[in-house]
Each structure stands twice: as C-alpha cells, then as structure tokens.
C-alpha cells in the first residue's frame, strides 16, 4: 500500500510540474503570434525582420557590457540600418558606441544621433513615448498609408521616421509627425520604393 500512495504522489507532482510548464508556453505562443502578425504587414522580409531583432539584441548587449550605466543608448535596426539615439557623457563614448555596432554582422549602415550630455530623465522618456503613441495613432486615424510601414522613434522630442515607403507615404508620415504638438524636429531615415 505504501508503494501506491508514493506512486500517486509522484504522479501528482509530475502532473503539476507539467501543467506549470504549459503556462510558460502561453506567452511564447502569444508573443510569437504577435510578432508574426507584425511581420505580415511589414515590407521587410521575415528574414530581415528577424535579423533586425538580432542586431538590436546584440547591440544592446554590447552597449550594456562596454558602456555600463553611465550611458543611455537606444538601438533601432530597420532593414539592417541602425539608428543610435540617447545620451552619453563624451564624444569618445559616442564614437565607441558606433564602432561597436560596426562589428555586428549584417549591419548595412549606422545613423548616430546620440547626444552628448547627461542621461535624459524618466519624465522626458515618458513624454517621448507619449509623442510616439500620438503619432502612430494619427497614422491610423488619418489612414493615408498602412501605419505598419513606418517605424517611429522619439528621443528628446525629436522624431525619427524609418521604413520602406513610397514618396507619397513618406510625405504623409512626415506631415503628420511634424504637425503633432510637442514635436521639435522630424528626421526622415526612409528607404524609398517606386
């Protein structure tokens, strides 16, 4: 009898362990589905989309390891072109950040917009996130192009627009971003298609 109760307890423990592992799969499946949906409406190939994600992860790891907490550097890769934004304390550190990114395989180009100065405040970063959301919402509301064709990055009230777009889509995106209250400047980093 003792053997059956131990056997039942072992089965119960194994079932609970298995069930707990299934719940960990849900975010992976949901996250994968969301990423798949974003890829479908993106003009980049799925391979380039994944490569952009890999470039960003590698770059952020390098920056975190080599520059530490004194730097605030954001990395955005779109079609293997990298945008660097944020703040560092010196021109040497800004150049070092760019040099590190150049060592990453498959990076086609780098736009280094890192500012030299103290790290931005949490409230400044929150405002930037708010501006990005306002612009993306306007893209959807005005419906002049698919909002997923243009990636919006905001740093210190400066808006960077990236994407593979037509001239008319670029013009519409630039106009919307420029007319958004709180935006100081719009920088176009588009690749154009016919």
For 97-148, how does the pLDDT look when each residue is reduced to its tens digit (9 = 90+)?
999 999 999 999 999 999 999 999 999 999 999 999 999 999 999 999 999 9
Confirm or reject CATH 3.30.1340 for domain 122-192, answering yes or no. yes
User: Contact at 8 Å (CB) between 169 and 150?
Assistant: yes
Say what the pLDDT of residue 32 is: 47
CATH number for region 46-116: 3.30.1340.30
- Return the H-helix or E-strand segment holding 35: helix 2-40
**From CA 97, how far away is CA 79, in angstroms rounded?**
20
Scanning the structure block, which residue is given the tokens 């030299």? 116
Residue-wise pLDDT for 85-95, tens only, equals 999 999 999 99
| pTM for this predicted structure | 0.79
Query: For the stretch 144-166, what's the b/e string if a residue is b when 16 or more beta carbons lie within 10 angstroms of its beta carbon?
Result: ebebbbbbbbbbbebbbbbbbbe
pLDDT at 70: 85
């Amino acid at each position: 009898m003792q053997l059956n109760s131990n056997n039942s307890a072992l089965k119960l423990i194994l079932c609970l362990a298995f069930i707990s592992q299934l719940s960990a799969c849900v975010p992976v499946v949901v996250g994968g589905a969301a990423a798949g949906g974003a890829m479908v409406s993106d003009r980049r190939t799925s391979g380039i989309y994944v490569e952009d994600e890999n470039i960003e992860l590698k770059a952020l790891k390098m920056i975190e390891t080599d520059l530490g907490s004194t730097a605030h550097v954001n990395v955005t890769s779109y079609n293997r072109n990298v945008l660097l934004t944020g703040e560092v304390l010196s021109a040497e550190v800004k150049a070092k950040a760019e040099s590190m990114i150049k060592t990453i395989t498959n990076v086609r180009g780098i736009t280094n917009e890192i500012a030299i100065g103290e790290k931005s405040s949490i409230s400044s970063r929150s405002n930037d996130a708010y501006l990005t959301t306002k612009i993306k919402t306007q893209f959807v509301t005005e419906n002049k192009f698919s909002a997923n064709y243009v990636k919006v990055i905001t740093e210190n009230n400066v808006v960077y627009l990236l994407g593979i777009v037509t001239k008319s889509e670029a013009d519409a995106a630039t106009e919307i971003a420029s007319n958004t209250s709180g935006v100081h400047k719009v920088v176009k980093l588009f690749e154009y298609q016919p």
